[in-house]
Structure 1
Amino acid sequence: MKKAYRVKKEAEFQKVFRQGESVANRQFVVYVLEKPEQAHFRVGLSVGKKIGNAPTRNAVKRKIRQALTELDQEQAVKQDRDFLVIARKPTADLSFHELKKNLIHVLKIAKMI
């Protein structure tokens, strides 16, 4: 995933937290903030220490990025939004396909797909 597609700065994270709307399922919490002037979506990932050690957290982030890349190639994700994906504890035990299915589920609830 390109750097232009990521929310990196703390101020941008906080803006999405404060002004965005949240939805959740058992594995993920998603905050969405509409930005009509934006050409493509941007995503921020948060995987806390409760998920596991650093290699486990990095593996979860890689799986989430890969799932979002595949969804973007399918033109499924709405483009004019910033959103944050927060992983909950059960995500560390999921396979890639289960993680992608749950991510699609929560993004449908958030009306991102």
Structure 2
Amino acid sequence: MNKHQRIKKDKEFQRVFKQGKSFANRQFIVYVLKSDQPEFRIGLSVSKKVGNAVTRNRIKRYIRQAFLEMKEELAPNADYVIIARQQAAKMDFHESKKSLQHVLKIARALPKK
């Protein structure tokens, strides 16, 4: 995941929150905003309520890796902001990826198979 594929600035996060659509399941909330850039970008938010720094960083690694593996299937011209809920802390990588795929299918960002 390259630097230019990440949403870092608060202004960019707020734009996705205000103008984008939200979709959720028990583990993740995903905001999707269509844009005109050639590649998708992701922003991650994991609250301190989820766990300590080690747990939060592990969740962020899992999300980044899942997006890296799904990048061919994802809509390229969109911004995604992913918020992890407390249940995400109890999951391993494969469960996290499956949960992200589920919520992205609900958001129609991934094609249904």
TM-score, normalization: structure 1?
0.95
> Post-superposition shift, 1:93?
0.6
Alignment of 1:30 onto 2:30: yes
Deviation string, structure 1 residues 30-69 (Cα, Å, up to 9, x no partner): 011111x210100000000111001110011001101110
1:46: which partner in 2?
45
What letter matches 1:49 in structure 2?
Answer: K
Once residues 98 and 69 of structure 2 are traced to their aligned partners in structure 1, the CA distance between those partners, rounded to angstroms, is: 12
**SS of the residue 2:83 aligns to:** strand
Instruction: Give the equivalent residue in structure 2 for 1:64.
Output: 63
Percentage of identical aligned residues: 55
Partner SS state of residue 22, structure 1: strand
Aligned counterparts of 1:59 and 1:31: Cα–Cα separation in 2: 21
Unpaired runs of 5+ in structure 1? none
CA shift at 1:7, angstroms?
A: 0.5
The partner residue of 2:101 within 99, 104, 109 is 104
Superposed structure 1 runs of 4+ greater than 3 Å apart: none
Q: Residues of 2 paired with 1:68 and 1:83: CA distance?
A: 10
Structure 2 unmatched ranges of 5 or more: none
RMSD across aligned C-alpha pairs, in angstroms?
Answer: 0.6
CA-CA distance at 1:83 after TM superposition: 1.1
Distance in 1 between residues matched to 2:92 and 2:54, nearest whole Å: 15
Aligned residues: 110
The superposition leaves residues 64-97 of structure 1 with CA deviations (integer Å, 9 ceiling, x where unpaired) of 101110111xx11100000100000010110100
